[in-house]
A = this chain, B = another copy of it.
Amino acid sequence: MSEIITLAHGSGGKLTHNLIKDVFAKHLANDILLQGDDAAGIELTGGRFAFTTDSFVISPIFFKGGDIGKLAVCGTVNDLAAAGAKPLYLTCGFIIEEGLLLAELERIVESMGETAKECGVKIVAGDTKVVQRGAADKVFINTSGIGIISGGINVSGANAKAGDKIIITGPIGDHGCSILLEREMLNIGAEIKSDCAPLNLLVENILNVAPNIHALRDPTRGGLATTLNEIASQSNVGIRLFEDKIPVRDEVQGVCELLGMDPLYLANEGKMIIIAPESSVDAILEVVKQDRYGVGCCVIGEVVSSSPKRVTMKTITGGSRVVDMLVGDQLPRIC
């Protein structure tokens, strides 16, 4: 095989078939993917399912704590988990810029395979397009996924209720901060890496002890602030945060202060917001703390009936301020 991706790899002809065999099938193989038809045949029991899609355009494609392949699997798995679903099957669509090193593509696909294995999901169908130099930036990946929602589970951004507590599974801003440092090649000595991680097993364990959870969502693009604004709006409730409870690593806080960023708006790729009745909070925290991806979880706020569709924060100094949705773009191509 040649050492770089050429337009012919996207032709649908011989080189496409070689690429599928030598790279994709090698690292993603399972009984369904290997059928080789244009659509995967899957068996599903009847019931309620979650179906979602996400495209990943992150730059750089390799970063501390992950790469675009790991991110593409985690991102869609986490969206399914946030719907209260157990992820089952993913598809992946690659758009590759001519000239990408084949070794880089293989590293990405290998990472997808490893992450899918950790999540217990199968990648069952894929597609590869190649565009000429300058028509894309290295590689973009779309993943779509389907997962099954157990009976009795009903989580939605529209279900938050006054009196609910808001839990975050760990410190915020790691992913956004890490990408910012990589991209700007700022060597400020801080050991910050992306929190990119699959949260489906964590969520499964949470739902086992607290099936009455109202809402789950992973605060990616736009960060915690934007995600909570979405939920406040969908549920027509107010959300009150306590600044002193929001976990932010010292290194992340330091970088944010240096660069004038707000960790509330930085993307996370391995955190989940959990909104649940107060009676379930202790059981949830106990489960989350036992998970490798739940270290540092805590209650950061509550749902209130006043100021519907608005997020406010009780500040460390004792004041109160409105926390708006992100306006503009703090950091493009963060995922």
Contact = CB atoms under 8 A, between A and B. Distances in A.
A163 interface: no
Contacts of A328: 8, 11, 13, 15
B89 A41 contact: no
Contact of A156 (B7, B15, B37, B80): B37
A221 interface: yes
Nearest to A57: B129
A136 interface: yes
A230 B44 CA distance: 28
A91 interface: yes
Interface stretch (A48-56, A166-174, A199-207, A295-303): A48-56
Contact of A51 (B54, B125, B326, B330): B125
Given A8-B329, A329-B7, A332-B7, A95 B134 contact: no
A64 to B, nearest CB: 22
A124 B145 CA distance: 12
A39 B52 contact: yes
Contact of A49 (B35, B38, B42): B42
A134 B49 CA distance: 38
Contacts of A52: 38-40, 91, 125
Contacts of A82: 37-39
A41 B49 contact: yes
A269 B46 CA distance: 33
Nearest to A221: B12
B39 A329 contact: no
A47 interface: yes
Contacts of A330: 11
B132 A135 contact: no
Interface in A216-241: 217-218, 220-222, 226, 230, 234
A53 B13 CA distance: 18
A44 B47 contact: yes
A119 to B, nearest CB: 15
Contacts of A142: 53, 55, 93, 127, 142, 144
Contacts of A48: 41-43
Nearest to A134: B134
Contacts of A132: 332-333
A92 interface: yes
Contacts of A158: 35-37
Given A39-B85, A142-B142, A55 B127 contact: yes
Interface string A297-335: 000000000000000000000000000011111101101
A222 B13 contact: yes
Nearest to A324: B14
A40 to B, nearest CB: 5
13 contacts: A12-B326, A13-B329, A37-B234, A39-B51, A39-B79, A39-B147, A40-B52, A41-B49, A43-B47, A93-B144, A131-B332, A131-B333, A146-B146
